[in-house]
Chain A
Amino acid sequence: MSGLLRFIPVVVLVLAACAPQATPPGPSGTAASKVGGSVTFVATTDPDTLDLHQTSNPVSSTIFGWIYEPLVYQDLDNSYKGLLSESWAVSPDSKTITFKLRSGITFTDGTPFNADAVKFTFERLQRVGAKSPIFETFKNVASMEAKDATTFVMNMKEPYAPIFHDLQTAYAGILSPTAVKAANDNIGRAAVGTGPYKLKDFQTGQQITLERNSDYKWAPALFANRGAPYIEELRYRVIAEPATQLAALDAGEADALGLRAQDIAKYASDARFKVFDSFTFGLTYLGFDAKRPPFDNPKLRAALAKAVNKDEIVQVVFESKLAKAQCCPIAESIQGYDPKLKDFEQKYDPAKAKTELDGLGYKPGADGMRTSPDGKPWRPVLYTTTSDTHGKISTLLQAQFKTVGVDLQIKQLESGALLAATPKAEHDLYLNGYSWNEPDMFSLFLSCDRITSSNRVLYCNQQLEDLIRKGRTELDQAKRMQIYFDAQKLVMQESPWQPLYMPVSKTAVNVKIQDLRQGQAGGLYWHDAWVKR
Chain B
Amino acid sequence: MGRYVLRRLLLAIPVLLGVSLAVFLMAAAVPGDPATVLAGDTASAAQVERIRHDLGLDQPLPIQYLRFLERLAHGSLGESTRTHREVLLEIADRFPYTLALTVGAVTLSTLLGLTLGTFAALQRGRAGDYLTMGFAIAGLSIPTFLIAIVGIIVFSLQLRWLPVSGAFSPASYILPTVTLSLHSAAVKARITRSSMLEVFGQDYLRTARAKGLRERVVIVRHALKNALIPISTIVGIQFGALLGGAFIIENIFGWPGIGRLATQAIFNRDFPVVQGTVLVGAVTFALANLAVDLLYAWLDPRIRYS
Contact = CB atoms under 8 A, between A and B. Distances in A.
A188 B165 contact: no
Interface in A51-98: 51, 54, 56
Interface stretch (B181-189, B228-236, B254-262): B254-262
B261 A205 contact: yes
Contact of A131 (B38, B149, B157, B168): B38
A239 interface: yes
A414 B157 contact: no
A364 interface: no
Nearest to A136: B44
B51 interface: yes
B256 A203 contact: yes
Interface stretch (A19-27, A155-163, A259-267, A448-456): A448-456
B41 A48 contact: no
B129 interface: no
Interface stretch (B82-90, B100-108, B195-203): B82-90
A417 B252 CA distance: 25
A203 B255 CA distance: 12
Interface string B132-171: 0000000000000000010011001100100111111000
Contact of B41 (A54, A186, A449, A454): A454
Contact of A239 (B48, B149, B254, B267): B254
B149 A416 contact: no
Given A130-B54, A251-B164, A453-B45, A204 B256 contact: yes
B84 A205 contact: no
Contacts of B97: 205
A230 B195 CA distance: 64
A432 B41 CA distance: 11
A247 B157 contact: yes
B83 A241 contact: no
A389 interface: no
A45 interface: yes
A186 B84 contact: yes
Interface in B18-72: 30-33, 36-45, 47-48, 50-51, 54
A173 B134 CA distance: 60
Contacts of B165: 237, 239, 244, 247-248, 253
Contact of A416 (B93, B156, B267): B267
Contact of A251 (B43, B160, B168, B257): B160
A133 interface: yes
A243 interface: yes
A432 B45 CA distance: 19
B284 interface: no
Nearest to B32: A416
B251 interface: yes
A130 B54 CA distance: 9
Given A48-B83, A454-B41, A247 B164 contact: yes
A244 B149 CA distance: 8
A238 B269 CA distance: 20
B207 interface: no
Contacts, number: 150
B164 A248 contact: yes
Contact of B254 (A56, A241, A421, A452): A241
A452 B40 contact: no
B123 interface: no
Interface string A19-51: 000000000000000000000000001101101
Given A414-B267, A453-B48, A244 B252 contact: yes
A526 interface: no
A461 B291 CA distance: 67
Interface string A110-153: 00000000000000000000110101100000000000000000
A482 B59 CA distance: 47
A205 B36 contact: no
A419 interface: yes
Q: Which of A136, A203, A449, A453 has the most CB of B within 10 A?
A: A453
A442 interface: no
A3 B40 CA distance: 8
Contacts of A186: 84
B176 to A, nearest CB: 11
A316 interface: no
A420 B36 contact: yes
B44 A206 contact: no
Contacts of B251: 240-241
Contacts of B153: 247
B31 A420 contact: yes
A154 interface: no
Contacts of A48: 82-83, 268
Contacts of B50: 130
Contacts of A436: 42
Contacts of B31: 413, 416-417, 420-421
Contacts of B167: 206
Contacts of B32: 414-421
Given A248-B165, A420-B33, A135 B152 contact: no
Contacts of A444: 42
B253 interface: yes
Contacts of A51: 84
Given A3-B42, A243-B149, A247-B156, A238 B254 contact: yes
A280 interface: no
B152 A206 contact: no
A244 B254 contact: yes
A87 to B, nearest CB: 30
A172 to B, nearest CB: 15
Contacts of B264: 45-46
Contacts of A270: none
Given A239-B165, A417-B31, A206 B40 contact: no
Q: Which of B90, B251, B254 has the most CB of A within 10 A?
A: B254
A146 to B, nearest CB: 27
B94 interface: yes
A250 interface: yes
A118 B235 CA distance: 59
B33 A205 contact: no
Nearest to B160: A251
B164 A244 contact: yes
A416 B44 CA distance: 16
Nearest to B85: A188
B277 to A, nearest CB: 12
Interface in B173-230: none
Given A130-B50, A135-B47, A205-B93, A416 B256 contact: no
A48 B268 CA distance: 10
A419 B36 contact: yes
B250 to A, nearest CB: 9
Interface of A: 2-3, 6, 45-46, 48-49, 51, 54, 56, 130-131, 133, 135-136, 186, 188, 203-207, 237-241, 243-244, 247-248, 250-251, 253, 413-421, 423, 432, 434, 436, 444, 449-450, 452-454
12 contacts: A48-B82, A49-B83, A54-B84, A131-B38, A131-B40, A241-B251, A241-B252, A414-B32, A420-B32, A436-B42, A449-B44, A453-B47
Given A56-B39, A133-B43, 13 more contacts: A3-B40, A46-B261, A131-B51, A136-B47, A205-B256, A206-B166, A243-B152, A247-B165, A248-B254, A416-B269, A417-B32, A449-B44, A450-B45
What 10 A-B pairs are tightest by C-beta distance, nearest first?
Answer: A205-B256, A416-B32, A56-B40, A417-B31, A420-B32, A204-B93, A239-B254, A417-B32, A453-B45, A206-B256
